[in-house]
Amino acid sequence: MRIAVVGDTLLDEDIEGTATRLSPDAPVPVVDVTRRSRRAGGAGLVATMLARDGHEVTLVTALSDDDSSGHLRRALAHVELVAGPSRAPTPVKARLRAGGATVARIDEGCGPAPIPAVTPEMRAAVAAADVVVVADYGRGITAAAGLREELERRGRDVPVVWDPHPRGEDPVSTVRLVTPNLAEAAAAAQRAPVPEAAEEACRILRARWRAPAVVVTLGEHGALLLEEDDEPWLARGEAVVAADPCGAGDRFAATVATVLAEGGNRRAAVRAAIDAASAYLAAGGVAALAG
């Protein structure tokens, strides 16, 4: 199975340390750094997960040529990378952590970015895929006309799963399933971000996006799926206490795509994805990917 992951790639950093005293300059903790780790985030995290699952993965993205991009390329050494030129700095999200808790997050290069250029190699990678996961992080790649045309075309023959972003583009019309979380769905549908509003948000977004199905992930409450038959289906999940939920939505979308590509229906895909996301969090979440 050839999987194309299409989307915006970020560099995630974890700066770990200990905090046992306050700064004399201000009432803030002083963190003595003991470890710094870097990994691919955004679409890069989805590709990393799928590669670790043993799949043949191609990451279709845009990368800059700065130092942070170099760290990204090293982090993605195990993934086939088809990257066009970015017209913006590499977005970096660094979390400062002490005692297992996040003290602060420092973002660099995360402002609005111009739409990146699309290369023939990027289009060819989508055209050759057996399944496509779109991981939109609002950095412009899903707005690139040539790439959208290829996604629209490929979606007529293979499953395309679209994980949207509030600042991103609408899914293409041939998408098989759209997977917003509750906050994303509520913002897009202009509804309250509460589980009780999920069904209405699903209906609004399915009509707006002309999508055959939308599933809204609800954290510990599971996920709500709305398909063509217009009957909502709630798949409940196992509650998992996780200090860091980062990446759970990526794990969900990646699993949905593989199940659909293997011939499973949407309900089977959602059920498997909920279980996979719960297992991912129970195993330590994104921190476990370093092992």
Active site amino acids: 250
| H-type alpha helices, 64-164 | 67-75, 120-127, 145-154
Question: How far is residue 173's CA from residue 210's CA, in Å, rounded to a whole number?
Answer: 6
| Helical segments of 86-164, H only | 120-127, 145-154
Total residue length of the chain: 291
Cβ-contact 216, 196 below 8 angstroms: no
Residues 162, 14: Cα–Cα separation, whole Å: 27
Report the C-alpha gap between 23 and 26 in whole angstroms.
Answer: 6
Mapping DSSP to helix (H, G, I), strand (E, B) and coil, where does residue 151 land?
Answer: helix
